[in-house]
Amino acid sequence: MAMTKETLPPIGHAAAGSAGAMFALSLVYPLDIIKTRIQVQTKSKKASADSDEEHYASAWDGITQIVKKEGISGLYAGLGSSLIGTASTNFTYFYCYSFLRENYNKKYNPNGGTLSTAFELVLGAAAGALTTLITTPVSVITTRQQTLPANERQSVVETCKSIVQEEGIKGLWRGIQPSLLLCVNPAITYGSFEKIKQIVLTVLKLQLTPGVNFLVGALSKTLATVITYPYIMAKVRLQWRPSKEMKDKVVAYQGSIDVLTRVLKTDGFFGWYKGMSTQITKAVLSQALLFMMKDIFTNYTVLAFALIRASQKAKAQ
């Protein structure tokens, strides 16, 4: 049987998805690093004036400051660990989801009946939780590399060693609680996508063209981000470590509730949404890039697997 998109094995789809996600991340990464730095900065610019700590008024202001102080390469600080995180997250999620789904079907659905949407979401959330437990260390390392000054930034391995030496092995799992809560984000995205799609079809009487589908997806992702953003910000702050200069001036956060309480006290309600516009812009652009490049990466993956299969057959003869 010829290799096609339909006969591509699960690992092939995982490879194509990871490649697409890494490609999209590479293009929008400057927005990711700006978003992270805005999330951990203080409200007042006064604190920054007396130190080397940056204070960004907007995403564009952040980009110009980083280029001025660190050069273009500063916009890609931590890219390596972030790409590792993206690839590992995609593969881990896929295998966790496949494992849970396969075992459930063997025990409770031997006839191969269609699973309900609600149960698919439960499986997705469970797979997301397992993925989070496994890949959080990469997220912590990436956050450190993105936010530390250039003169304190280390390689992935050295950053990992520093975290373990200073905080113990548990330091690699800082922010795990809000990360697990954020596993509901896909469920909110999917649920709102279905509701908005119904409005588009029944109220606006529009056809679901690729462009309309993308807009509906972007809107549903935006809604999910708005709802869960305080915990996105809390996760980043828990994983962040201040520079050596600021270390004695900053009291370490004890948990996500501590983050939310202190940010509310110092920055007000809107402090919970610091950097959200950049986060949404990055998410929408990533989705658009994935949407455009999905077929291309899948086609190349099909070709690669076809060549591998042909090579294996040739060796067997």
Q: Residue 205: inside a domain, yes or no?
A: yes
Q: Residue 198: inside a domain, yes or no?
A: yes
What pLDDT score does 143 carry? 92
Structure tokens belonging to residue 13:
């789809």
Q: Residue 4: inside a domain, yes or no?
A: no
Query: Could you tell me if residue 139 is left (phi over 0), alpha (psi between -120 and 50 degrees) or otherwise beta?
Result: alpha
What pLDDT score does 248 carry? 64
Asked if 284 and 259 touch (Cβ cutoff 8 Å), the reply is no
Q: How far is CA 83 from CA 127, 208, 287, 292, in A?
A: 20, 33, 16, 20
What pLDDT score does 4 carry? 67
Q: Residue 182: inside a domain, yes or no?
A: yes
Q: Residue 5: inside a domain, yes or no?
A: no
What pLDDT score does 121 carry? 79
Query: Which residues are CB-neighbours of 154 under 8 A, at least 6 positions away?
Result: 145, 162
Q: Residue 208: inside a domain, yes or no?
A: yes
Local structure of 53: helix, strand or coil: coil
Q: How many CB atoms lie within 10 A of CB 283?
A: 20
Q: How many CB atoms lie within 10 A of CB 199?
A: 11
Query: Which residues are CB-neighbours of 281 under 8 A, at least 6 positions away?
Result: 31, 59
What pLDDT score does 243 carry? 76
Query: Within a 13 Å sphere around the CA of 305, how many CA atoms are in the beta-carbon half?
Result: 22
Interatomic CA distance for residues 52 and 127, integer angstroms: 41
Residue type, 58: S
Residue 33's CATH number: 1.50.40.10
User: Can you list the residues of the chain whose pLDDT is less than 50?
Assistant: 46-49
CA 282 to chain CA centroid, Å, is 10
What pLDDT score does 5 carry? 63
What pLDDT score does 168 carry? 94
Which one, of 21, 137, 162, 156, lies nearest residue 78 by Cα?
156
| pTM exceeds 0.85 for this model | no
Q: Residue 276: inside a domain, yes or no?
A: yes
What pLDDT score does 226 carry? 92
Query: Among all chains, which residue has been given the structure tokens 């279905």?
Result: 194
- The two counts, helices (H) then strands (E), for the chain are 11, 0
Burial class (CB in 10 A: 0-12, 13-18, 19+), 258: middle
What pLDDT score does 253 carry? 86
Interatomic CA distance for residues 212 and 218, integer angstroms: 10
Interatomic CA distance for residues 156 and 137, integer angstroms: 11
Q: How many CB atoms lie within 10 A of CB 177?
A: 16
Domain containing 232 equals 10-312
Interatomic CA distance for residues 299 and 311, integer angstroms: 18
Number of domains present in the structure of the chain: 1
Q: Residue 2: inside a domain, yes or no?
A: no
